[in-house]
């Protein structure tokens, strides 16, 4: 059973709804206003048949118009009151719905910023999008309008029952007897409609994920010519949603006439019995008319109440998904003492941040990935003086990123310590560390917007001159000069309007602009052609000068310049030393060198 199915089968619990109280509190005043206005509307709805009764008994039956003007004024006041109350409560409830949904979306988005990188590596994008967009909207709608329906329905049903019993208790009892039968029918239908509506929402979440993957992977789909496979999978998902939607709609279409049938029976009972009372003189004609109106009107609020309670049960699944995300704990957290001194991501206390020199020490470090079964590092010791360039090499999938993940504190040691400038990096904030790291990925990500904006993310207060200087250092200026709008050129969503190499150069410029003390290049030149790499190689040497750098290496030219090379095999460091030392050892590094870089070396010598 997957997570979605498990959520849908959980029993109803008010404890789940109680988790929404912190988001409800800012709107207590508005909800009090809505509740009061709904009581007014319910009262007006109960008064209208009484006015009808008065008109029939005092004007229609005696065939007189004496006193009709005051009666018309009263009716107008009642109608105006109902109109104004409806306008005000609708506007207020809409503000509650929009505000509640906004606050939930903001809380989810803010919380997502605090989660560790591992969460994003294991959680589908469609899942997160569905939580932030679909689930929050549904919860907000039910909080605002569901409460409105419940308050109006309960008030109206109670007022009508009391009124009917006071006017003519014998007819009132006939209507009251019908209510339990209608409630049972409603419950039977709503449970089945709820089942298919849950299936619709579950499938919709999967469709959102499939749609997102289809768009992001459009280029790959076209190059692999798998459009028909994507179409088939998406067709199956939409077919599931269509089938469940049709079943829910069919049940709904049957349900309404069944309820109408109960209403017709109630009216028939009132007519049969009430007409006899009128003929015998035991009841006035106006009372019979009012009772018929109540018999017709009372079933709609009972129906709405049943539907609202079913929605409350159904929406529990949405709340569980939202609160499940909000309660997701970051794998890496700062201690309260660290936050008090250094601040957090949303309120950094930069004035307390010490300068970072870049001296990194692995002090008896043991590490196992959270989903792993064995240690990747065991009692590992390594001292990296400030300004040292460390290259990490190995075959694809060998675990080259482990050390980098530990240095960047994307993961923390399961044993031992990582020291930054002689202090355990847990004693200072993650933001302090990350603000001092320049990370260039093999597959760079650019944000929607201009080249200028993307480079400026490295340092938001940078001037245009500083942006262009950073671009010149990595030869990105050559790309910028070729574009019609220069720095103002739009990169497209995710940088899709640029080639991978061009995106890489922009991400280089962004990292350079941040002027970090620690540089991480994750095979950052592997997507750049040899000619472009030659242009930026000297620039990289200058950039790394005086900074501690970790290079997950791919090309020989990058490896040879490193002060220290770590060779990774099977997730473990098997050799370390300089390029020359490792070649002389004749071990695994020499084997890699021969297999992967000999041809590149020959090409370099020929050039």
Q: How far apart are CA 463 and CA 470, in angstroms?
A: 11
> Cα 131 to chain center, whole Å?
4
Per-residue confidence at 388, pLDDT binned at 50, 70, 90?
very high
Tell me the two tokens of residue 54: 């008065």
Q: What is the per-residue pLDDT across 315-343, written as a single tens digit (0 to 9) for each?
A: 887 888 898 889 888 888 899 999 999 99
Q: What is the per-residue pLDDT across 33-65, written as a single tens digit (0 to 9) for each?
A: 988 998 898 999 999 999 999 999 888 888 888
Q: What is the per-residue pLDDT across 62-80, written as a single tens digit (0 to 9) for each?
A: 888 888 898 899 989 999 9
Residues making up the chain, counted from first to last: 607
Q: How far apart are CA 437 and CA 420, in angstroms?
A: 12
| Residue position matching structure tokens 């262009």 | 468
Q: How far apart are CA 213 and CA 497, in angstroms?
A: 19
Given this model, what pLDDT does residue 5 score?
A: 44
CB count in 10 Å sphere of residue 481: 10
As a whole number, the mean pLDDT across the chain is 83
- In whole angstroms, how far apart are CA 20 and each of 35, 54, 67, 136? 19, 46, 53, 11
Given this model, what pLDDT does residue 295 score?
A: 85
Higher pLDDT, 361 or 306: 361
Most confident stretch, 89-98, 119-128, 194-203: 89-98
| Residue position matching structure tokens 């349900």 | 255
Given this model, what pLDDT does residue 524 score?
A: 64
User: Strands 548-552 and 389-393, how do they pair?
Assistant: parallel
Q: What is the per-residue pLDDT across 406-447, written as a single tens digit (0 to 9) for each?
A: 999 989 999 999 999 999 999 999 999 988 998 887 777 888
In sequence order, what are the residues at sequence separation of 6 or more whose Cβ sits closer than 8 angstroms to the Cβ of residue 449?
Answer: 490, 491
Of all residues in the chain, what percent are helix, strand and coil, respectively (each to 5)?
A: 70, 10, 20
Q: Is the pLDDT of residue 493 over 60?
A: yes
- In whole angstroms, how far apart are CA 342 and each of 332, 361, 483? 16, 22, 42
Tell me the two tokens of residue 514: 């941040």
Q: Please tell me what DSSP assigns to residue 417.
A: E
Per-residue confidence at 216, pLDDT binned at 50, 70, 90?
low
Q: Is 240 left (phi over 0), alpha (psi -120 to 50) or beta?
A: alpha
Helix axes 285-297, 299-326, angle to 10 degrees: 30
Longest Cα separation, the chain: 120
Q: Is the pLDDT of residue 525 over 70?
A: no
Q: Give DSSP secondary structure letters for 10-22.
A: SPP-HHHHHTTHH
Q: Give DSSP secondary structure letters for 419-446.
A: EETTEEGGGS-HHHHHTTEEEE-SS---
Given this model, what pLDDT does residue 499 score?
A: 80
Given this model, what pLDDT does residue 250 score?
A: 86
Q: Please tell me what DSSP assigns to residue 348.
A: B
Q: Is 343 helix (H, G, I), strand (E, B) or coil?
A: strand
pTM of full prediction above 0.85: no
Per-residue confidence at 1, pLDDT binned at 50, 70, 90?
very low
Given this model, what pLDDT does residue 10 score?
A: 58
Average of pLDDT values for 371-382? Answer: 85
- The secondary element (H helix, E strand) that includes residue 529 is none
Q: How far apart are CA 268 and CA 66, in angstroms?
A: 33
Q: Is 284 left (phi over 0), alpha (psi -120 to 50) or beta?
A: beta
Given this model, what pLDDT does residue 359 score?
A: 95
Q: Is the pLDDT of residue 6 over 50?
A: no
Given this model, what pLDDT does residue 103 score?
A: 94
Query: Three-state secondary structure along 186-216?
Result: HHHHHHHHHHHHHHHHHHHHHHHHHHHHHHH
Q: How far apart are CA 199 and CA 243, in angstroms?
A: 10
């Amino acid at each position: 059973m997957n997570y979605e199915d498990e959520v849908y089968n959980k029993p109803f619990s008010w404890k789940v709804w109680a988790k929404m109280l912190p988001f409800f509190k800012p709107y207590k005043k508005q909800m009090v206003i809505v509740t009061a206005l709904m009581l007014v509307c319910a009262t007006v709805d109960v008064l209208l048949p009484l006015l009808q009764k008065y008109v029939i008994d005092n004007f229609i039956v005696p065939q007189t118009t004496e006193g009709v003007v005051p009666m018309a004024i009263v009716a107008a006041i009642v109608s105006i009151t109902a109109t104004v109350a409806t306008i005000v409560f609708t506007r207020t409830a809409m503000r509650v719905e929009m505000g509640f949904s906004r606050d939930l979306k903001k809380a989810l988005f803010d919380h997502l910023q605090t989660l560790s990188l591992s969460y994003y590596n294991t959680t589908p994008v469609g899942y997160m999008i569905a939580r932030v967009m679909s689930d929050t909207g549904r919860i907000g709608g039910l909080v605002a309008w569901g409460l409105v329906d419940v308050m109006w329905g309960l008030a109206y049903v109670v007022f009508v029952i009391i009124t009917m019993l006071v006017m003519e208790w014998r007819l009132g009892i006939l209507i009251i007897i019908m209510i339990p039968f209608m409630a049972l029918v409603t419950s039977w239908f709503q449970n089945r409609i709820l089942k298919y509506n849950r299936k619709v929402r579950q499938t919709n979440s999967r469709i959102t994920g499939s749609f997102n993957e289809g768009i992001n992977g459009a280029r790959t789909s076209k190059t692999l010519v798998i459009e028909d496979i994507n179409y088939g999978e998406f067709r199956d998902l939409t077919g599931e949603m269509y089938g469940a939607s049709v079943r829910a709609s069919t049940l709904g279409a049957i349900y309404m006439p069944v309820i109408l049938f109960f209403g017709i029976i109630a009216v028939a009972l009132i007519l049969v019995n009430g007409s006899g009372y009128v003929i015998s003189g035991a009841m006035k004609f106006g009372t019979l008319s009012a009772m018929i109106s109540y018999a017709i009107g009372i079933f709609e609020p009972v129906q709405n109440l049943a539907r609202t309670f079913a929605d409350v049960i159904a929406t529990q699944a949405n709340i569980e998904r939202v609160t499940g995300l909000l309660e997701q704990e970051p794998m890496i957290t700062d201690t309260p003492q660290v936050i008090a001194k250094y601040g957090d991501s949303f309120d950094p206390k930069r004035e307390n941040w010490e300068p970072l020199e870049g001296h990194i020490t692995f002090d008896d470090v043991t590490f196992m990935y959270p989903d792993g079964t064995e240690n990747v590092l065991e009692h590992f010791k390594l001292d990296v003086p400030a300004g040292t360039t460390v290259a990490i090499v190995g075959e694809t999938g060998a675990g080259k990123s482990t050390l980098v993940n530990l240095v960047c504190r994307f993961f923390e040691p399961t044993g031992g310590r990582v020291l930054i400038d002689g202090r355990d990096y847990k004693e200072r904030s993650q933001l302090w560390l990350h603000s001092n790291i320049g990370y260039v990925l093999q597959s760079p990500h650019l944000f929607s917007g201009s080249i200028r904006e993307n480079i400026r993310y490295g340092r938001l207060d940078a001037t245009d001159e500083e942006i262009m200087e950073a671009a010149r250092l990595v030869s990105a200026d050559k790309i910028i000069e070729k574009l019609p709008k220069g720095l103002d050129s739009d990169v497209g969503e995710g940088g899709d309007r640029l080639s991978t190499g061009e995106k890489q150069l922009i991400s280089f410029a962004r990292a350079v602009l941040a002027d970090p003390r620690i540089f991480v290049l994750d095979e950052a030149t592997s997507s750049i052609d040899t000619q472009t790499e030659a242009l930026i190689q000297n620039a990289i040497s200058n950039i790394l000068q005086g900074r501690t750098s970790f290079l997950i290496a791919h090309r020989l030219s990058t490896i040879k310049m490193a002060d220290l090379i770590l060779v990774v095999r099977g997730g473990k460091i098997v050799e370390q030393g300089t390029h020359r030392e490792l070649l002389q050892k004749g071990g695994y590094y020499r084997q890699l060198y021969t297999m992967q870089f000999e041809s590149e070396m020959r090409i370099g010598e020929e050039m």
